[in-house]
Homo-oligomer: A and B are copies of this chain.
Amino acid sequence: MPKTKHNRITVKDLARDLGMSVSTVSRAFYPDAVIAEATRKAVLKRASEIGYRPNPFAQSLITKKTQIVGMVVSDLTNPFYPEVMTRLTALLQQQGMNVMLASAQQPDGIDEAVDLLLTYQPDLMIVLATNLKSHARERCEAAGSPVIFFNRLSADGLGFGISCDNIEGGRRAANYLADLGHHDLLYVSAFPDASTNIERRQGFCEQAERRGLPRPQVIEAGEFTYGAGYAAGLSLKNLPVRPDGVLCANDIVAIGFIEGVQEGIGLRVPEDISVIGYDDIAMAAWPSHRLTTIAQPLDEMMAATAELARELATSADVEQRTLHLTPGPLVERGTVASRRKSDE
């Protein structure tokens, strides 16, 4: 025997072993199937004894359900996403679903990767990348895979979405800075098309004005990266008015921004300028950064995603909707100081 071909246990084997028909054995694995409870138990017991699991390929050929969720990632320089990716994967796997990845180096490679992935007919797709072109959603849906946008809205507002109230988050940051006596605010903007960026900015700026402060200045950093934040920090000196309180589009931008401000123009944080981030990634809590930030309620967001995934994998017609969770708490650490005393 030249090839030691791997011989998996099949329904047939199990059926013979149990003295039942394959139909009966098969039914044991479907909760809704009509089968005597005693029979089901016997089958399941024996199955786990001999290590039988239905072949998912054969299953999905018939059921048209694959238990596969496609995950689209690209911009992983933001530590927020690796964290989400692995935790979400773990959660989904607990529900018996498996995660397939689509990833590409160049932004244009992602389309091809998604196509390849669609070949496996995932029950749904989850998009973690911030820069996915919107036509990708249509391609997925045409292939029978609804898509969930995690932590962002699709450009056209369609599709499924899991998002936080980023407008409210922006407002909170403005209120917090206003309460502590800050006067001249700044928003450091990242990827201009990202809904998170747009909403945070909007909430922050509007609330600042509502509190009677001048309309916040804005620096366009352009990307959700450390480097973009750093450059923004350096460019602070070009601003007509020197701000005393800043909200950055997210943590990684804030961390870069602080560094740029400190090294580039020698301002001290928080003595000279207060900075708030957004996300509360693990790095924000590091002693190097001690970043005050608005947390994302990650657990809730992921639980909601997992639940929606289960729904999409089960039911045929689920109405498209976007879940808007409330933002997590503002986590006070070391990058915001009170300006109260100096006011008086």
A residues contacting B by CB (< 8 A) are 3, 5-6, 8, 53, 55-58, 60-61, 64, 66, 68, 71, 73-74, 76-77, 79, 81-83, 85-87, 89-90, 93-94, 96, 98-105, 109, 112-113, 116-117, 119-121, 143-144, 226, 230, 255-256, 259-260, 263, 282-283, 286-288, 316
With both beta carbons as reference points, the residue of chain B lying nearest to A110 in the complex is identified as B90
Residue among A55, A120, A256 with max Cβ neighbours from chain B (10 Å) = A120
Q: Chain B contacts of A282 at CB under 8 A? A: 77
Cβ of B76 and Cβ of A103 under 8 Å apart? Answer: no
Once bound together, how far apart are the Cα atoms of A105 and B88, in whole Å?
10
Given A76-B86, A82-B76, A90-B109, check contact A286 B226 (CB 8 Å): yes
Q: How many copies does the complex hold?
A: 2
Q: Chain B contacts of A316 at CB under 8 A? A: 3
Would you mind naming 29 contact pairs between A and B with Cβ atoms under 8 Å apart? A3-B316, A55-B119, A56-B120, A57-B57, A57-B60, A61-B61, A71-B101, A73-B86, A77-B282, A81-B82, A82-B82, A86-B101, A86-B103, A89-B101, A89-B102, A90-B103, A90-B109, A90-B113, A93-B103, A93-B112, A93-B113, A93-B116, A94-B109, A98-B119, A100-B101, A226-B283, A255-B288, A263-B287, A288-B288
